[in-house]
Amino acid sequence: MKKSATKIIASLFCVVLLFSCLTFQVSAQTVRDVEYFDDGSYVVTELTVNTDNPFARTGKSGSKTSTYYGSNNKAYFAVTLTGQFNYTYGSSAKATGASTSVTVYDSSASYVTKSATYSGATATGTGTVKVNATSRTLTVKITCDKYGNLS
């Protein structure tokens, strides 16, 4: 009886060890860009590429957020686009889905509208917010190349 219990424990240990070797870390890669305007306002854009399966060679998703800041460095609103893409490595890429969300951070700003579209290998999201009685529109695009790189 003692030998069979030892064998069961050893077998379970081997199974756990095998599964721990097969797992991989879920992470994301982020790229940041800043665009400045003449009136002192600026937009910070961050692209986050989901790398939940680094071995996948057919599909990818990512999100890009553009945040509008006034000349006072206060964040007023953000537009986030999430895009899904399929690609054949080295051959072609195609957008398969897009969604947009708008987040308002300041009481002097109010939501107006949003939209999301996709065509070819590009997903596009647009959000409009009224800031201090002036409409501000941010357009966010994500494009996938034939190697699965998002930009």
The per-residue pLDDT for range 53-109, each reduced to its tens digit, is 655 667 889 999 999 999 999 999 999 999 999 999 899 999 999 999 999 999 999
**Residue 50 bridge partners (DSSP):** 28
**Cα 113 to Cα 133: distance, rounded to the nearest angstrom:** 15
26-143: CATH topology: Immunoglobulin-like (2.60.40)
Whole-number pLDDT of residue 20: 44
Q: Look over the chain and give the mean of its residue pLDDT values, rounded to a whole number.
A: 85
Q: Is 63 helix (H, G, I), strand (E, B) or coil?
A: strand
Residue 22 pLDDT greater than 70, yes or no:
no
Say if pTM beats, i.e. exceeds, 0.85.
no
Q: Which residues contact 57 (CB under 8 A, 6 or more apart)?
A: 87, 89, 148
Least confident of 12-21, 48-57, 84-93, 135-144: 12-21
